[in-house]
Each structure stands twice: as structure tokens, then as C-alpha cells.
Structure 1
């Protein structure tokens, strides 16, 4: 059975982390396959939105500790970060398509930070987020120290990373860590609704919006204003822009094609 399952339907790619027996923790094989799957989604012109979720009770427990404590299996932390997690985070942020993290259970360590790197994070009501690194004498990785302070503020992020507290879905919503959470009974339905909405949006504009948000993390105001101008000109040359304007003038729903 594959550790990463990809299903594509209605212009949506559903990526499922699929090692439920170890709470979908990553080993080398799974991390490399995740990168390849993200590349496949990026290159598939039929894919206009991506959903990442987990099989079973957990979203992702981060690194498989059995791998790093078994000498013949252990790649070493430099290789784990530079060849496993860092490329996954980079792909999530640079793919010019919206990526939805559907956190169905516990998201811990690198698993939590992979979710937080996505464009939109939703959670089931029983989900939890844990910066588990300090519990075993490690530092946060997978861009956790980059995204979490920006999402919830320096003070809260510092406390969660140092204390390793478990954050419930309710608290994550209140902190601004996630977009929404839903009762378990309707979670799958809500995933499909949001993903369908994203897949029917003007994909070109969504990708350019994502680029603007990425650059805003390091640009000053004048640089950001200049980039907004450049990318607005690019967006206004798209077929989807013309369709959006025509639909508005004709008082009908637009039918975006993603280009």
C-alpha cells in the first residue's frame, strides 16, 4: 500500500498521507513520494485545487522516530530537513494553485507545520496541533518558526513551541491559526465544498495572489505596491478576467477556466 494516495476528480487533487498505523508520520520513502505527488499536481493542468489530509485518526505525527533511532535506516537530520521537509514546504508555497490542509486529527511536529504552510487550513472538531519538538529536545522545523509567529503572534508562538502545549481546534481558530473547524459528521462534506469553490475560482489570479502573499513576508511597502501593479497587469490579461467582467456585466455566474 502506498504511503501517499492521490485521487483526482472535478479538477481537485486529494493527497492523503497514508501510514495510519504510525499516525501518518513521515519516513524517507513517504517524504520523497510526497514531493513527487506535489510535482505531479503542479504539472497537471486539470488540477486547479489541492487538498492534503490524513488517513485514519491522525493528520500527521511528523517524523517517524523509528527511522531516526534505527541506525541502518536513519538518514540523519540534515538529510531529513534538506531532502525531506524543506522541499515539501517549498513546493506547498510555490505551486501556483490553492492548497487546502484538511486536518482530520492530530497534527504534531513537522505534521503541524506542513498544515500551517498551506494556503487555507480547516480542521475537524477533534483535531489538535502540537509543536512537539521541545518534548524530545529538538527545535521546530518545517518552517514552523516562520509561519506560526506570523499567524498568531510572537508571544503565543514562543510559548507553544517552548511548552509544547496541545492546541484544540477551537483554540486554533481563536488564535487565528486556522480558517475554520467543523463537526466530524460534516467534515468531509465541507472539505469537498471548499475544494470545489477553489477549483472553480480563477486559478491564474489565485496563483498570483499566492505569489503576492509569499513576497509580502519580506517586501517593504514600496516593493509590495510595485509587485501588486505588475501582477495586476498580468492578471488582467487572463481569459478568466475577461470572463469575470463579462459575467458581471451580463448579470450571470462566471465560468472560469483557470487561465
Structure 2
């Protein structure tokens, strides 16, 4: 046998279906002497790795006589007892049955030599090693050596917890998606939304592929063991009707192939689907079933999640996870939604994830204030917040200067990969501070402001080397709207209002007619500038002011997703792309911007400007001289 095993016997694998053959192929690839054995109920037409498709399966007694390590990979609840009776007394018994290990090991006569082996995915990309109270540590180490030799990551878990870790968490995710169907949500919209986060398949596509009957069976098994799981009526109805999934020709998606078109990815908020998964993960941590790192690694490596559930919780915000769970618990009364103590304690301590610098994991975090602007470094993202909510984040001189300093600070930090610009409260920004401008007593004050404060800040934003993403959830008018135009990307809520009303107070928009025209068409610009009308988030998307319009609950998340997506590119390439674009803007538009800054200073100090600003502050209609 393989020299790292330390045993004189060979490796026997009982079960010739996909799981058994996959384990046998891994052991064979690692250099072990492997014997494959048939078992009742085996499916000979296996889709397992080709390495073992042609390997002759031996009779059970022949394969087990002299084996040093036996993998029992069958669907038979009593198979382990039979295997133990035919195996040498010192052999290690490894079972893929996810029932509590003590219950399984009791019938073998050697509970200290029984270990659980639970593949975290069909390709054995990761494996869970379950141990019981009486399992010998050396036994677990022996089995771990085999998987390590085959380059399969192995994670130790508590075998007394029914169901594998990856099964329990994946099950919660799919059940929650099916529950959304009961509320009338289109399955394609759910899957498209989840896939936008980097998942190769949506939860409903995956449920159809793996079999709805298996999903229901797994859920009911956990219920029998006292686990708080609710089986959706929709799932039971589908199974009862024979709509078992892809192989049956009908499932969640009926008889058609699953279709989750990319253009539907923002119809549904995918993040709440993970709340029950995070709640279950917290429960597993509370009973010491495994570690945080193992939970995330098993889902990432075994189920191809882009990030594990605990990392997703940190990204979304543990406080928001708890809010989602509490709302669902109040609406349904189901125990599965009752937030676990671990989550409540984290929220109570202010440990909520990226937004606080620490959650389930620790992150690079910095928080500081530049004038009236808040700056945060959240891992690889800089979040800059215009923070004058009492005046709708109107941009006074301190705000423009603070914004410039915050942008410069983010630009100088090599750890920052993208910068998000947002507003506090119910506005992104209502534009320049009219009261401050109305208080200027000399023309020089206006000229100095636009040429030495506003202009350089706009140039700092335009030349920022990192991708910039504007987050609009409310009002973005005047200078606020123009900041959106200068940012590289933008996400707005449907209820947002974007406009260029400067002419209504006798001024002009200085940024939009220069740099804004690269994203705003001539007729759109003139309509906004002449009329002072405001566009909704959806209209702003259609006219190119923002990339996406989504429900208010999603706007911050989508902006963060876009920011994270930009980090896939080389930082040097990202900076080079921006430099190239900026060179074009500088050559063709900078002279116009300088001219508009001179013009806006004149307009603000003109008779029309004074009348318009005075009327605005006095909340009356201006009286223009025709």
C-alpha cells in the first residue's frame, strides 16, 4: 500500500456509483493500491472519472478481505455494519453516510476506527472528515493523508452533526430560493440575480440539476434529527407531481432548459437569500461543528461559491443579515429565521463586517474626516461620503476641499482598488451651497471659488487613478449630478432624481457641458439644463447618466459589486485605461471647462444670478428681466 498509509492492507471502496468511483480514482491517483467493490443498489452506468470506469469491480468479500482502509460509499443505511463484519479488525472504516457518526459507528464494534468522509462536491474538489467522540485522532490523520496525497483539500468537522456542512448550507440556500417562488417571483430572475455575484449556477438551476426529490429528502432527514428546517410547500408539490428536475424533464423550470438571462440580473435582490445560510453557519460555529475558515472553504471549493457564506455576510453587513432574519421570523414565526446568538452578539458589539473593519474576519480599515466629508477604507475599497445631510449634502467650500483631500488620500493608498462616492441621508448631493454663494460680496470670491476650489476638485476626481463609482439614492442635482457624470460608473435607485437646474437660479452648469458630454448626449443635456427637469433613476439609465437603476435596497450593494468586479483587472491596466481616457478629455474638453468656470463665476455675480439665488433662498419664483 502507499507508504504514507502505514498499513499493510489495500484501500477498498464499496460502491461503484459516482461517489465511490470518484474516491477510488483519487486514491489511485495518489498511488494507493485500490480495490473497487460492488454493493446492492449500485448504478453501473456511472458518470464518474474515466480512470475507473473500466476498472473491474470485485465481489464484496474479495475486496474487503485484507483491506486496511475501507470507504463505504453506498446509499444503504445498514451497509457499514456489513462492511465491518467482512473487514479486518484493525482496518479503518470511512463512510459517506451523513447520519450522526456515533449512531453509525455503534454497530461496527470499533467506533474509534470509524471516520466520516463527505465529499463537498461531485468532483471531490474538497472533502469533510467527520470525527466522533470516540474517533482515534490517528485514524483521521491516516484518511487526511490519502486526500492530501491526491491534492484534495480536507477539512475536519464534527461527525455527530447530522448532514455534511456543505449539504446543510447549500440546502438552506436552495430552500430559500424555492420559498421565493411561493411569493410569485420568477425563477429566472432569482437565478440571474445570484449569478451576477459570480455563482456559476443559480440555486434553482442547481436544484433542478441535482434533483428536487433529493433536496426534499435531505431537508426531511434533517427535520427528523431535530434541525430547524422548513420544507417549502412548493418543493413538496413539485416532487409529488413528478417534476423532479432536469433528468425527469420537468422541475422548477418545467420542461424547458433553465434560462437566467444576464439582462435580468437586477430584477431581484439576491443578498437576502443568504441570510438563512449565514444563520445556519453561525449555529454550526456555536456547536463547534467546524471552523469559520472550513465553512467558507467548503462552499468555495466544493460548491464553487465565489465567496463563502461568512465572507458574504461580512460584505453585506452582519447587521443587515440580522435585520433580514428578524423580518422573516416576525412574518413566518419559523425557527429557521430566528437570528442566532452569535449574530446578535456581533451586531451588539458593532462588529458587522467590512463596514466596521471586523466581522467573522478582520479587514484593513481606516476611518477619518476631511472637512465635511467622511472617508473609510473598507478592505480594498475606499468609501467617500458627502456628509451634510441636513442640507441635502449641498457642496460648500469645505465639502469641495474635503472631497479633494479624500480623493487624494485614496489615490495615494496602494491597497485601495476602487473608490465609491456617496451621500449621507436622502440625497447624493443637491448641488452647490446656494446660501454660501449668495453671501459672496465680491466678484473675486466667485472667481477664486470656481478656479481654486471647485475646478481643482473636479480635476482630482477626473484624474483619479482608481475606478470611481457613484451611488445615488435620492437627489443628485446641479453640482451633485455633475459629479455623477464625472465618475466612471454610477448606480441609482429607481426613486432617485437627477437634474441640472442651475439655469433656474440664473447660473449655468460648468462641468456637464465639458466633461459630462462624454456620457450625456447633446439633446439630453439641453433638455435638463434648459428646463430644470429631473430624471428618475430608470430614465437616467436610459440616457446614459448611470449604469444601472435598481430598488433602493440594492443600490449600495450593486455599487459595491461593481467596485469589487473592477478589482479583477490589473491595477496598472486600470490606471492606464483611465489615463488614456483622461488624455482625450483633457485635449478636447479642458479648454471648455476652464471657459465655463469663468462663465459660471460671472453668472453667479450677475443680476440674474443674484435674483435667482435670492428667490431660491426665499422660496419664491424669480423675477427675470426679459
Q: TM-score, normalised by structure 2?
A: 0.34
C-alpha offsets along residues 18-51 of structure 1, whole Å, 9 cap, x if unaligned? 0000000111122111111111111111111100
Taking a change above 3 Å as real, the CA distance of residues 137 and 5 of structure 1, as seen in their structure-2 partners, is same
Q: Which residue of 2 aligns with 1:77?
A: 446
Q: Which residue of 2 aligns with 1:226?
A: none
Distance in 1 of aligned mates of 2:575 and 2:382 = 16
Taking a change above 3 Å as real, the CA distance of residues 74 and 30 of structure 1, as seen in their structure-2 partners, is farther
Q: 2:495 aligns with which of 126, 129, 138?
A: 126
Distance in 1 of aligned mates of 2:418 and 2:499 = 27
1:90 matched to 2:493? The reply is no
Q: How do 1:112-191 and structure 2 match up within 5 A?
A: 112-141=481-510, 143-191=511-559
Distance in 2 of aligned mates of 1:135 and 1:105 = 20
Q: Which residue of 1 aligns with 2:89?
A: none
Q: 2:569 aligns with which of 176, 186, 201?
A: 201
The alignment partner of 1:51 has SS state of strand
Q: Which residue of 2 aligns with 1:215?
A: 583
The alignment partner of 1:92 has SS state of helix
C-alpha offsets along residues 91-111 of structure 1, whole Å, 9 cap, x if unaligned? 111121111111121111111
| Greater Rg over alpha carbons, structure | 2
The alignment partner of 2:421 has SS state of strand
Taking a change above 3 Å as real, the CA distance of residues 23 and 218 of structure 1, as seen in their structure-2 partners, is closer
Distance in 2 of aligned mates of 1:104 and 1:73 = 36
The alignment partner of 1:205 has SS state of helix
Aligned-residue offset at 1:15: 0.1
1:104 matched to 2:473? The reply is yes
1:22 matched to 2:401? The reply is no
Distance in 2 of aligned mates of 1:147 and 1:129 = 17
Q: 1:46 aligns with which of 396, 410, 415?
A: 415
Q: Is the 8 A contact 1:100 1:120 kept in 2?
A: yes
Distance in 1 of aligned mates of 2:442 and 2:493 = 34
Q: Is the 8 A contact 1:123 1:182 kept in 2?
A: yes
Q: Is the 8 A contact 1:68 1:74 kept in 2?
A: no
Aligned-residue offset at 1:198: 1.9
Q: Which residue of 2 aligns with 1:32?
A: 401
Structure scoring higher RCO (CA < 8 A, sep ≥ 6) equals 1
Segments of 5+ residues of structure 2 without an aligned counterpart are 1-368, 589-626
Taking a change above 3 Å as real, the CA distance of residues 46 and 169 of structure 1, as seen in their structure-2 partners, is same
Segments of 5+ residues of structure 1 without an aligned counterpart are 221-259
Q: 1:63 aligns with which of 411, 422, 432?
A: 432
Distance in 2 of aligned mates of 1:189 and 1:208 = 27
Q: Is the 8 A contact 2:404 2:461 kept in 1?
A: no
Aligned-residue offset at 1:149: 2.9
Aligned-residue offset at 1:216: 3.3
Taking a change above 3 Å as real, the CA distance of residues 74 and 62 of structure 1, as seen in their structure-2 partners, is farther
C-alpha offsets along residues 58-112 of structure 1, whole Å, 9 cap, x if unaligned? 0001111111223579983212211222111101111211111111211111111
Q: Is the 8 A contact 2:470 2:559 kept in 1?
A: no
Aligned-residue offset at 1:215: 2.6
The alignment partner of 1:144 has SS state of coil
Taking a change above 3 Å as real, the CA distance of residues 14 and 211 of structure 1, as seen in their structure-2 partners, is same
Q: Which residue of 2 aligns with 1:257?
A: none
Q: Is the 8 A contact 2:491 2:558 kept in 1?
A: no
Distance in 1 of aligned mates of 2:376 and 2:387 = 12
Q: Is the 8 A contact 1:68 1:75 kept in 2?
A: no
Q: State the number of aligned residues.
A: 219
Q: TM-score, normalised by structure 1?
A: 0.78
Distance in 2 of aligned mates of 1:136 and 1:80 = 18
Taking a change above 3 Å as real, the CA distance of residues 219 and 21 of structure 1, as seen in their structure-2 partners, is closer
Distance in 1 of aligned mates of 2:393 and 2:586 = 33
Aligned-residue offset at 1:217: 3.9
